[in-house]
Structure 1
Amino acid sequence: MTSPALGTDLAAMRRLNGQAVLTTLWDEGGPLTASRLAASTELSRTTVEAVLAELLDADLIRSEQLRPRGAGRPARGYRLAADRGVSVGIDIGPHGIAGIAGDLRGTVTAPHRRIEQDLSGGADAVTAITEIVEALLEESTASPRELAALTVGIPGIVDADGHPVKTTVVPDWLAVDIDAHLRRMFPGATIAFDNDTKLAAFAEIENGAIGADETAVLLRIGNRISAASVVEGRVARGAHGAAGEIGALQRVAWPQAQQRLSARAEDGLELLFRRHGGSDEAIAEFAAGIADGLGALVLAIDPHAVVVSSSIPEASDRLADALRSELAGRALFVPELRTSSLGAAAPCLGALAVSSVSARKRLFSQEY
């Protein structure tokens, strides 16, 4: 008869073996044969085959016949069942909402979409999030179309547990408690919030202009000016989630700089930033108006690079050029000025990546 202690040890070992196989399939994407899995996990072939049988029964992996590479019977391959749920990333602000959906690993299954509308009211924001999530689930190629994880980027400060705690941009959202509404609407999903610019910075680290071990400042120019700090490949959060919120200092005057720029753009910001026919003087004035705040961030963390991101065509390149000379007199070491290729989709891509991390934690915690 098995002793309680031995039974517990065997159960723990079985679980560790299962997680080793799942981790390999998650990282590789698959399909992998039992032999490849045994080599990668350093488990015996017999142990791997037993784990694969359990994971197949639990519908956590898929099995398929691989194309033969010569004579002999075709091998079977195994891949993670990443399509058994949907991860969603949302970016919402007072002027509109955007979203993107992917499978559990974050591979896009429904493309980025954006809707412009007035969402300054909390009730309207709840409705907009619910509607775009349902639309993304309907469009997703994953099956079943069940929401596994949802991450929402907002223009505000979010604590370490993923709860919004402060925003001057959309204060009514906190009064309505969007978090609670979404948890009731999607009870089976893991739901979290984060600052939209910090999510954009995470996306830049994952697939953008910031290297894995680099220190950088991300400067976003859109309906408002915002920044995030990255220190040695990690988005800086601080004690309360407010790291990088240099715009909160009134003497930095970023809102005033943006107001002056908008006032000079009689025919719209897109025309103002055009390489041919745009206003060099207005752009130089804007760069000078925001350079003190940016310079303070640069001095604080001594970054390798400042990444400029904007959804306005040509704005990132022209602002990077103008800011390069402005920082020359405000920094001990002038960082490289880069532009983002992710543009307006960056916060959604970062939110989708965070949702994928949540989906992985949930998947690996399941009993099978």
Structure 2
Amino acid sequence: MRSTTPHEAVPATTPAASLVFTTVLSHGPLTRAEIARRTRLSPAAVTKAVRPLMEVGYLVEDVDEGARPALGRPANLVRVDAGRALFIGIKVTGDEIIAVLADLCCHIRVARHVRLTDREPAAVLPALTALVRELLLEADGFGVRVRGLGLAVSGDVDRTDGVVRYSPFLEWRDIPLAEIVGTATGLPVTVDNDVRALTVAEQWFGAGVGLSDFALVTVGAGIGCGLVVHGRVVSGAHGVAGEIGHLSIDPLGPPCHCGNNGCVEAIAADPAILRGVREATGRPVTTAAEALELAHGGDPGVREVYARAGEAIGRAIGSVVNVLGPERVIISGEGLAAYDLFAEGIRDAFAASAFGTAAQCDVMTRPLPFEEWARGAAATAIQSFIGSDTR
């Protein structure tokens, strides 16, 4: 439930108002005629949707002198007033908390990192709420209220109830995260899977802007996938859509923490690669940087581990493209540090598994710092605040 001051109302949350706001957020500034064209709303519907958002200051109108028609006044551009509200976004990993203070256009104003030495909720949650309080003090310096808090966690997350059902890297089960953090901070809280949160940010502000269908594949500690279908971020009936890391591509392959064998994650995620490198070399390799050094040094056994990982990722991407037919697949995540070792395997396996014209899908890489994952969490808070939840 959103809180308001006596003199400030929350924005309108009609579907048309939400559509207009997100269109201006991603593509603006825009004239009203351009908003109507992009949203397929009538000019009257656009005017009706814009008015309440302007009344509370989330949209503003500027004169575009360069768009003067042959007759009449110049066109007015509608844009989001980025400084009108602030949001906190937090990504929790197995060893740190990354937090950002972002404005209404999801520009990062402040970023913070806090190391974790204990993954138990009893240790993580006090550190998280202390970090939120620190950012609330930072927000006071901008003279703008924080209107929402987004939390992003890996694994099976129930966004509707704000519950972390199971996070393998944190080893959390059935944690009512939204309730706990909301009570501690007094903020409206949105909790989501970290890859879906990052997908929202890519849809609104990144490589997915303007695309109705795309997939975001993340490689690193796990293998994740966010899906946008017909302009909507998909979470599925049970909240686990896009889990390509748990496609079993080799039933006789290594065991996965999910209980199956030969999952993509059991072959291509960082822990699997480290295990394979140790088996290939007999060395006690413990970090991705050590494994990369051996691979770049030319060790054939280590390079084969990365080649198998690339093949698994490529086959998984081929499956996504065959089933959904996206316009683009974006590959991101900390695992991109090894992309030169993955690339050939991904490319060849994708080409072999993509059916027909599905192989024409644009597959691109997009390195993103960890702050972008926290920014994704902030984007979900903005999404909830403006009433534009597209799941």
TM over 0.5, shorter chain: yes
The 3-state SS of whatever aligns with 1:167 is strand
The 3-state SS of whatever aligns with 1:238 is coil
Q: 1:262 to 1:244 in 2, by over 3 A?
A: same
The match for 2:348 among 284, 309, 325 is: 325
Provide Cα deviations, 1:164-216, integer angstroms capped at 9, x if missing partner. Answer: 252151676444422221121122x2211111011112222223223422433
Q: Which residue identity is paired with 2:245?
A: G
Counting only pairs closer than 5 Å after superposition, residues 75-224 of structure 1 correspond to structure 2 as 83=83, 85-111=85-111, 113-140=112-139, 143-144=142-143, 146-159=145-158, 161=160, 163-164=162-163, 166-169=165-168, 173-187=172-186, 189-224=187-222
Paired with 1:184 and 1:110, the residues of 2 have a C-alpha distance of 24
Q: Which residue identity is paired with 1:87?
A: F
The CA deviation at 1:323 is 0.4
The 3-state SS of whatever aligns with 2:348 is helix
Percent identity over paired residues: 23
Q: 1:166 to 1:303 in 2, by over 3 A?
A: same
The CA deviation at 1:253 is 1.9
Counting matched residue pairs gives 317
The CA deviation at 1:272 is 4.2
Paired with 2:202 and 2:91, the residues of 1 have a C-alpha distance of 15
The match for 2:274 among 247, 255, 262 is: 262
Is the contact between residue 96 and residue 115 of structure 1 (CA under 8 Å) also seen in structure 2? yes
Long gaps (5+) in structure 1: 1-14, 44-50, 63-77, 363-368
* Aligned twin of 1:3: none
Paired with 1:92 and 1:317, the residues of 2 have a C-alpha distance of 28
Counting only pairs closer than 5 Å after superposition, residues 14-29 of structure 1 correspond to structure 2 as 27=24
1:352 aligns with 2:378: yes
The match for 2:305 among 258, 276, 282 is: 282
Paired with 1:28 and 1:175, the residues of 2 have a C-alpha distance of 34
Q: 1:60 to 1:331 in 2, by over 3 A?
A: closer
The match for 1:308 among 326, 331, 341 is: 331
Is the contact between residue 109 and residue 140 of structure 1 (CA under 8 Å) also seen in structure 2? no
Provide Cα deviations, 1:247-301, integer angstroms capped at 9, x if missing partner. Answer: 3452442343134411317374235447954654332121134444443323221
Is the contact between residue 122 and residue 174 of structure 1 (CA under 8 Å) also seen in structure 2? no
Q: Which residue identity is paired with 1:340?
A: R
The match for 2:244 among 237, 243, 246 is: 246
Q: 1:303 to 1:180 in 2, by over 3 A?
A: same
The 3-state SS of whatever aligns with 1:349 is helix
1:227 aligns with 2:225: yes
* Aligned twin of 2:319: 296
Is the contact between residue 310 and residue 346 of structure 2 (CA under 8 Å) also seen in structure 1? yes
The 3-state SS of whatever aligns with 1:110 is strand
Q: Which residue identity is paired with 1:284?
A: A
Q: Which residue identity is paired with 1:348?
A: A
Q: Which residue identity is paired with 2:307?
A: A
Is the contact between residue 317 and residue 339 of structure 1 (CA under 8 Å) also seen in structure 2? no
Provide Cα deviations, 1:100-134, integer angstroms capped at 9, x if missing partner. Answer: 111244332213x3333245312223123212222
Q: Which residue identity is paired with 2:306?
A: I
Is the contact between residue 270 and residue 313 of structure 1 (CA under 8 Å) also seen in structure 2? no
The 3-state SS of whatever aligns with 1:166 is strand
Is the contact between residue 314 and residue 348 of structure 2 (CA under 8 Å) also seen in structure 1? no
Paired with 1:269 and 1:241, the residues of 2 have a C-alpha distance of 30
The CA deviation at 1:230 is 2.3
Provide Cα deviations, 1:55-82, integer angstroms capped at 9, x if missing partner. Answer: 6xx89899xxxxxxxxxxxxxxx99875
Bigger Rg, which one:
1
Q: Which residue identity is paired with 2:155?
A: G
Paired with 1:291 and 1:82, the residues of 2 have a C-alpha distance of 39
Q: 1:190 to 1:82 in 2, by over 3 A?
A: farther
The 3-state SS of whatever aligns with 1:223 is coil
Query: Under a length normalisation based on structure 1, what TM-score does the superposition of the two structures give?
Result: 0.69
Query: Under a length normalisation based on structure 2, what TM-score does the superposition of the two structures give?
Result: 0.65
The 3-state SS of whatever aligns with 2:354 is coil
Is the contact between residue 104 and residue 359 of structure 1 (CA under 8 Å) also seen in structure 2? no
The 3-state SS of whatever aligns with 1:241 is coil
1:340 aligns with 2:366: yes
Paired with 2:93 and 2:193, the residues of 1 have a C-alpha distance of 11
Aligned-pair Cα RMSD in Å: 4.3
